[in-house]
């Protein structure tokens, strides 16, 4: 399983209700169901992913979260997860608001554009960064709203969103010291647990 | 699926109908495919649509060229896999393919029922299907599955007998008909009733057949089953005969005209006009939430099933939006639901066709059906 997903498992209570926005092939919800008896629902627009997730026994609704999430009632889930999808939506701020309307808590993971490699590629190389996590060229990418750790935390403050916990995935393992101390510089993926 | 043989079940216990009348006794003709397991836990019920019948898969004999109406989806290795499931498919009450209906004899009069046959609601069908389940010793269906009007029966099952249905699969259906849907059905009925051979529904007594009216009704229906694109691709403006040249005095005939006429005349030789009227009324009267103050969320709270809802992009009879209404009510009612919206050019008819993504995702969902046994 992707690192950001294995990191956030521990923030999800056993037996709780989880909505996974952009659930992919459903591997995360499957693991939550099998390990933590979670009742999950996934949202997805990719056809192959939908079939794969349904084959895993996951409940998946074909729906574009960018268009609307209004069909999900207030507080109908314990946790709403948005994993590596914030940068791909048209209105990240609206999606965040919706997450915390639908769920008690939200978990967001995103590629940190403030990572030193990104800065080097852009600042010294003069090119838009391309990495393992973001392998696309600037003109052909689903990722349209990049942000940094700093940017995200500022947005949360502006929106009155409380950050309950922050975690990072860096490439400084096995000593994640640097990415924990200076996440904006060393985190490749930022992970947040948020609430109202 | 190979060769299949219909069976007939007789029920002598009166069936109380939603309309207040009751059927003293009745017969249901049905087919089964696959084998019922020891625990009787792998049974799947297929509910048919407006003009469907019990013959959903396989052939009726070595000479039979036309497979059952849902042969694309039922059979070994197909989404409704007969190597895993025991599939039951029946002709609904009021039908004209062997189950008791308007063309059957009314035991009280010794004559055909004709237009006096009581009106049917999906609820009546569900209750008659439950009797068939009792007879086959099926306490709980692994799944009840239907497209269009069949999907409406599946949803009704989940409310009438929540403990008897594990999975409810609703394809190209709706919570109720729109005004446009009602309008098309009314035009179809008017076409039949305006045919002098209909004789107020008593055509069997007068030895006439309202073939013209029935054909016209079918032509109207058929247009609503196809999308604009599907018609354009299939026929375009191609001519079957004549020409549009200057100086041409004879009528030209477009391919689509001859296709519709063919569909109409085929149908009118195989279908009963009173049944058609009865089926369209059952469709019109269907409103899942009617008895729940019009609140579909409250309705679905009665159910205990998991749901799989499918729609098709160019279906304008029961559009994706109608399916999303079902899905949204299920989400609000906190019922487990999966939903797929299939890109397809074929309109409403798509639910009968071998569209790869449709078959794949249907197959994927069926993996969980009966999986715990």
φ and ψ at residue B216, rounded to 5 degrees? -65, -40
pLDDT tens digits, B118-173: 999 999 999 999 999 999 999 999 999 999 999 999 999 999 999 999 999 999 99
* More confident call, B69 vs B371: B69
- Give the total number of structural domains in chain A: 1
Predicted confidence (pLDDT) at residue B38 exceeds the cutoff of 80:
yes
Residues of A in contact with B341 (CB under 8 A): 62
Q: Give the H/E segment covering residue B298.
A: helix B296-300
CATH number of the domain where residue A88 is located: 3.40.50.150
Residues of A in contact with B338 (CB under 8 A): 54, 58-61
> In Å, how far is B2's CA from the nearest CA of chain A?
28
Predicted confidence (pLDDT) at residue B5 exceeds the cutoff of 50:
yes
The CA-based angle B303-B309-B314, given to 5 degrees, is 145
What integer is the mean pLDDT of B99-119? 95
Strand partners, A90: none
Residue A57 is nearest to which of B341, B361, B368, comparing CB atoms? B368
Residues of B in contact with A54 (CB under 8 A): 308, 338, 340, 361, 364-365
pLDDT of residue A172: 56
Residue B306 to residue A52, Cβ atoms within 8 A: no
Domains and CATH numbers, chain B: 7-176+287-366 (3.40.50.1820), 182-280 (1.10.1740.110)
Give the whole-angstrom CA distance, residue B104 versus residue B95.
10
- The Cβ of residue B72 has, within 10 Å, a number of other Cβ atoms equal to 19
Within 8 A by CB and 6+ apart from A125, the residues are none
What integer is the mean pLDDT of B247-267? 94
Strand partners, B7: B30
Residue A59 to residue B331, Cβ atoms within 8 A: no
pLDDT of residue B373: 45
Q: What is the pTM of this model?
A: 0.95
Residue A47 to residue B357, Cβ atoms within 8 A: yes
Full residue range of the structural domain in which residue A181 is found: 3-195
ipTM score assigned to the predicted complex: 0.94
Give the whole-angstrom CA distance, residue B184 versus residue B180.
6
Within 8 A by CB and 6+ apart from A186, the residues are A115, A116, A168, A170, A172, A178, A179
Residue B327 is nearest to which of A61, A73, A76, comparing CB atoms? A61
pLDDT tens digits, A88-138: 999 999 999 999 999 999 999 999 998 888 999 999 999 988 888 788 999
Residues of B in contact with A23 (CB under 8 A): none
For helices B149-160 and B273-285, what crossing angle results, to 10°?
50
Catalytic position from the list B148, B158, B268, B303: B148
- The Cβ of residue B174 has, within 10 Å, a number of other Cβ atoms equal to 26
Pair type for strands B239-241 and B253-254: antiparallel
């Amino acid at each position: 399983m992707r690192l950001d997903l294995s990191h956030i498992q521990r923030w999800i209570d056993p037996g709780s209700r989880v909505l996974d926005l952009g659930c992919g092939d459903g591997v995360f919800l499957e693991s939550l169901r099998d390990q933590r008896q979670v009742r999950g629902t996934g949202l997805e627009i990719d056809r192959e992913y939908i079939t794969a997730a349904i084959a895993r026994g996951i409940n998946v609704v074909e729906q574009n979260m960018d268009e609307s999430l209004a069909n999900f009632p207030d507080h109908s889930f314990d946790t709403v997860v948005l994993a590596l999808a914030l940068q791909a939506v048209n209105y990240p701020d609206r999606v965040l608001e919706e997450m915390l309307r639908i769920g008690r808590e939200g978990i967001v993971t995103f590629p940190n554009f403030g990572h030193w490699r990104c800065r080097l590629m852009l600042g010294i190389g003069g090119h838009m960064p391309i990495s393992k996590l973001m392998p696309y060229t600037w003109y052909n990418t689903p990722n349209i709203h990049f942000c940094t750790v700093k940017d995200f935390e500022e947005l949360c403050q502006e929106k009155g969103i409380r950050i309950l916990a922050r975690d990072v995935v860096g490439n400084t393992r096995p000593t994640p010291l640097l990415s924990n101390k200076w996440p904006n510089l060393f985190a490749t993926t930022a992970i947040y647990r948020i609430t109202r | 699926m190979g060769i299949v043989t219909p069976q007939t079940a007789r029920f002598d216990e009166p069936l109380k109908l939603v309309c207040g009348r009751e059927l003293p006794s009745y017969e249901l003709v049905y087919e089964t495919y696959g084998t019922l397991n020891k625990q009787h836990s792998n049974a799947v019920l297929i509910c048919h649509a407006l003009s469907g019948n019990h013959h959903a898969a396989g052939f009726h004999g070595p000479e039979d060229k036309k497979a059952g109406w849902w042969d694309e989806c039922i059979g070994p290795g197909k989404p409704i896999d007969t190597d895993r499931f025991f599939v039951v498919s029946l002709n609904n009450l009021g039908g004209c393919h062997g189950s008791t209906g308007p063309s059957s004899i009314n035991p009280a009069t010794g004559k055909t029922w004709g237009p006096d046959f009581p009106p049917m609601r999906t609820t009546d069908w569900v209750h008659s299907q439950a009797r068939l389940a009792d007879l086959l010793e099926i306490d709980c269906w692994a799944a009840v599955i239907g497209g269009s009007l069949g999907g409406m029966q599946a949803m009704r099952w989940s409310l009438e007998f929540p403990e008897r249905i594990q999975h409810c699969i609703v394809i190209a259906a709706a919570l109720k008909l729109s005004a446009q849907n009602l309008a098309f059905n009314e035009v179809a009925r008017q076409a039949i009733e305006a045919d002098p051979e209909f004789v107020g529904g008593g055509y069997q007594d007068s030895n006439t057949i309202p073939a013209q009216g029935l054909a016209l009704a079918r032509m109207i229906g058929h247009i609503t089953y196809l999308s604009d694109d599907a018609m354009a691709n299939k026929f375009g403006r191609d001519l079957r005969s004549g020409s549009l040249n200057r100086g041409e005095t004879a009528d030209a005939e477009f391919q689509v005209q001859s296709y519709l006429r063919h569909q109409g005349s085929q149908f009118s030789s195989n279908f009963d006009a009173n049944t058609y009227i009865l089926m369209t009324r059952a469709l019109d009267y269907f409103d899942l939430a009617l008895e729940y103050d019009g609140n579909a969320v409250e309705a679905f709270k009665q159910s205990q099933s998991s749901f799989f809802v499918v729609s098709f992009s160019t279906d304008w009879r029961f559009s994706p939006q109608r399916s999303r209404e079902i899905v949204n009510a299920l989400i609000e009612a906190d019922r487990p639901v999966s939903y797929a919206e299939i890109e397809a050019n074929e309109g409403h008819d798509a639910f009968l066709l071998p569209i790869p993504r449709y078959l794949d995702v249907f197959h994927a969902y069926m993996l969980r059906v009966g999986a715990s046994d």
